[in-house]
Amino acid sequence: MSDFRPRSGSEILDAAFEIYRRHFTVFIAISVFAAIPWAIASYVSETAVLSQQPAELASSLLITLLGFVVAPFTEGAMTAAASAAYLGSSVDFGRSFRAAFARPGRLFFAMCVKWIAMAFGLLLFLVPGFIVFKRYFALPMTVVLEDNTVGDAISRSRALSNGNGSRIFALIGGVFLFTTLVSWSLGRTFTSPILIASLRLFLGTVISPFSTIVATILYYDIRIRKEGYDIELMTQALNAASPLQPVP
């Protein structure tokens, strides 16, 4: 994309759609790894409820746990792919996953901290959950793109989110709310476990990459506004092209 400038909310969504359109195959391929465990768990859970078999419900919980293990790395891979597209680099399936697995422990534990904090916040009271959602929206970026430790990544994400709560809720929260409402309505509209699982698989596979692309562009947009990141990139490009660079 290589158009480094502050963007309005609508421009961020337009840029996300453009990146998604150009690299649709790569993002869908990455997203499938995260969506399949959730779809299987949804099917097994629906079957267990209808048949009232506790063993199948236990299987559903185990598959859901597998989904939680896989999700941080697909999120990291999609973040790497979205960043590459935004910066004008080539977007590659293998390279994106290599970026995610370059620091597996950091990425996994950082995302676990985010999910656990959100869960407690939502259980105790709704507002703390939303605060956690806002503060930690950039955790995948601060780990994968900046190579921070877990503690530094959390602090960095909080710093970036300060003063940007309304934009984070409007852009990322809006996509999340839409997905949640559609997924909930599927369970109330259809009764076939296979159909519900298939539709949720489709929904998760298609929507998840777009949400991550929006979050990644918003991360860069905040850096541009707060840190002059666009000027930094221009300076790096000029220095790289300068004939006066010292000989190593």
| Most confident among 119-123, 134-138, 188-192, 205-209 (mean pLDDT) | 134-138
> Percentage of residues in the chain with pLDDT exceeding 90?
34
For residue range 151-188, list pLDDT tens digits in order. 999 999 999 999 998 899 888 878 777 777 776 676 66
> pTM to 2 decimals?
0.78
Rounded to an integer, what distance in angstroms lies between the CA atom of residue 165 and that of residue 216? 15
Would you place residue 84 in the very low, low, confident or very high pLDDT band (cuts 50, 70, 90)? very high
Asked if residue 101 has pLDDT above 70, the reply is: yes
* Residue 241 pLDDT: 42
Spatial contact of 26 and 246, defined as CB atoms under 8 Å apart: no
Give the chain's end-to-end CA distance (angstroms, integer): 32
Average pLDDT over residues 44-49: 56
Residue whose tokens read 């950082």: 110
Average pLDDT over residues 70-95: 91
Average pLDDT for the chain: 79
* Residue 53 pLDDT: 59
Rounded to an integer, what distance in angstroms lies between the CA atom of residue 194 and that of residue 220? 40
For residue range 196-241, list pLDDT tens digits in order. 667 767 777 788 889 899 999 999 999 998 888 766 665 554 444 4
Report which of 174, 218, 217 is spatially closest to residue 82, judged by C-alpha positions.
217
Rounded to an integer, what distance in angstroms lies between the CA atom of residue 86 and that of residue 88? 5
Average pLDDT over residues 31-45: 66
Where does the chain show beta strands of DSSP type E? Answer: none
Asked if residue 55 has pLDDT above 60, the reply is: no
245 or 91, which is more confident: 91
Rounded to an integer, what distance in angstroms lies between the CA atom of residue 188 and that of residue 76? 32
135 or 64, which is more confident: 135
Would you place residue 76 in the very low, low, confident or very high pLDDT band (cuts 50, 70, 90)? very high
Asked if residue 148 has pLDDT above 90, the reply is: yes
